[in-house]
Structure 1
Amino acid sequence: MASLRPIALPWTDGFARGLPRRFNRIASDTTLFEPVATRVLNHHFTATMILDIIDSPGLSDYQRGRMAIAGWTKAMLADDVSAALKLSPHIRRHVPVLDPELALFEESPDKRFEAARIIFDYPAISPWMLPGIGRIQSRYDGTRLETRPMPDYVADGWSGYNWWCTAYGPHADDARRRADDTTRGARFAHYSEDDLENIRKVTDALATAATTAFGPHVIRYARENPGDPRVPRTLHRLVFATRHACYTAPGDISRAAFVLLHKHFPDSDWAKKTPYWYDGQI
């Protein structure tokens, strides 16, 4: 698999290695995804195909972690809980901040809600990987601009870093046509027609926003389990995502979460932090 090492970074190796475990520690010897390989993995690799290559030699922990997250998200988008469970240990191993979350996912009787809860808590979770050093943030400390990796739980002011951007309308149609053309190439000649169809279905996720795909699981669970103490925060995070995700759900999902939160938990801190609901962009 094509990888690269950074020629230069906006931080020192000492700074990277001294970051807390919640950060992605990228140093000058960390192998990263180059753009073409990233595009192929994003658009033409299913969760099962990612499982097949995730232990390939030469990959860094960072690469394996990003691949595992992307594959797990693709699996849940496809409602393939079995594949998601196989990828979960890889996330726990290579992305320490998500270890306790994925442990809960593995044990949960309602894995669709658990996945939704985790996704809305971590804006870096996406079926698409970023090439190079991935998500970064810059802050001015009064004397200079400091750039560092962005923790997976942080939502950026630029929505393109939050969850994933979707293709829609003619853009989605173009993506599907490109997927059809690509899977006819020699690289995919040894796959069965069923495999190729699953690869093409990966492209359909381009038209499905995080809030559209996983918001209904949160709303369903909240209605069925109002006594779960995690519900108020998860409803808040869903509303938050309908505001900050890169393309998001229709307003009815945001409004439903808002109404449930304020109806059943009006005095909670999470209701106080959620004064509005949002009408989505698509």
Structure 2
Amino acid sequence: MGISVRYEGAVAVVSIHRPEALNALNRELIDQLDACISEIESRKEVKCVILHGSKNFAAGADIAQMADCDPEGAKAFAFSPVYNRMVQLPVPTIAAMEGYALGGGLELALACDLRICGESAKLGFPEIGLGIMPGAGGTIRAPRLIGGAKAMEMIFTGSSLSAADAERIGLVNRVVSDGDVLTAAMEMAMKIAKKSRAALEVAKHSILAGMEMTSVTEAVAMEAENWSGMFATYDQKEGMHAFLEKRKPSFADR
């Protein structure tokens, strides 16, 4: 049982392994994920991160550990600080989802930038049936991704979505055959990993920061500052000169 990370070139693959509980998340697993994030942060050669659970992404949180919590105990159990660290990773992240991605598991996927799921995957927020609501970003990130009405429908009814419906409403980027989820995620990650890490970092920061800003004019001004600042980087010079010279760029590894 546990969460581990391995590296394939510039791609970090984080694996959730608790098959006997359908990869349900508990405090121990979240603490291990926290440690994996710290390790990834220290490796400047990483350009993309995949988060994957074999057969099931994560079938929610471990209810047995929460059932008798009081409000203060529930706060200590909260996964949000670690999920926020996943969001704040400077490079793109991909959730590769098989089987169940429910409750805290779906919230973990929402903390990633991109989502790929298998055709038989089931995604949902069943917390309302337990007398609670999503508490690790579900009521915040889902509306921003799919709109308030669709998020409310998912959260208020507790119903699960099929992979096809999740793709239709924009909850996931792509649906593939069940056995091809990790392969598809790796193909996307390897494509990303060929790009400039400096450019990936600034692009991700600009997107996330812009989504938080209420003024489009101010957001576009922020984007322009980020864009122009990149003309001081090695990768900008290498990328543009490689284009002009009709060759593949050799971006800096850092």
TM-score, scaled relative to structure 2: 0.29
Larger strand proportion, structure 1 or 2? 2
TM-score, scaled relative to structure 1: 0.27
